[in-house]
Amino acid sequence: QVQLVESGGGLVQAGGSLRLSCVASGIIFSMNAMAWHRQGPGKRRELVAVISSGGSTNYPDSVKGRFTISRDNAKNTVYLQMNSLKPEDTAVYYCKAIASPYDYWGRGTQVTVSS
């Protein structure tokens, strides 16, 4: 069965950094695009980063220049490095595997940025 497990969330002051990790099992990790989404309080879930199987990345303007997605295929792990955090980054962050015919989701990890 497919399983995605996020870790690394927590409480950080504005301007600080966190690195989230997501370990995948049950998929051929190296063949799949991976993504991070987040859902803040009272907001819709939004994409924050995506990385292709070949390593190409995309980010929305809200996080561009501050967040970096990366992957380590040998460890079946995708990372989200978050720098210069802002209170508006507060959300539950979810890992997603794009593995046709389905997308698979982790359970999420809470990131809280205090002012």
Mean residue pLDDT of the chain comes to: 96
3 backbone dihedrals φ, ψ, rounded to 5° = -140, 130
Mean pLDDT of 58-85: 97
Give tens-digit pLDDT for 7-18: 999 999 999 999
Q: What is the pLDDT of residue 108?
A: 98
pLDDT higher than 90, residue 28: no
Nearby residues of 34 by Cβ (< 8 Å), 6 or more positions away: 22, 24, 50, 51, 69, 71, 78, 95, 96, 97, 98
pLDDT higher than 90, residue 38: yes
pLDDT higher than 90, residue 100: no
- Percent composition of the chain: helix, strand, coil (DSSP 3-state, to 5): 10, 55, 35
Confidence of residue 80 (pLDDT cuts 50, 70, 90): very high
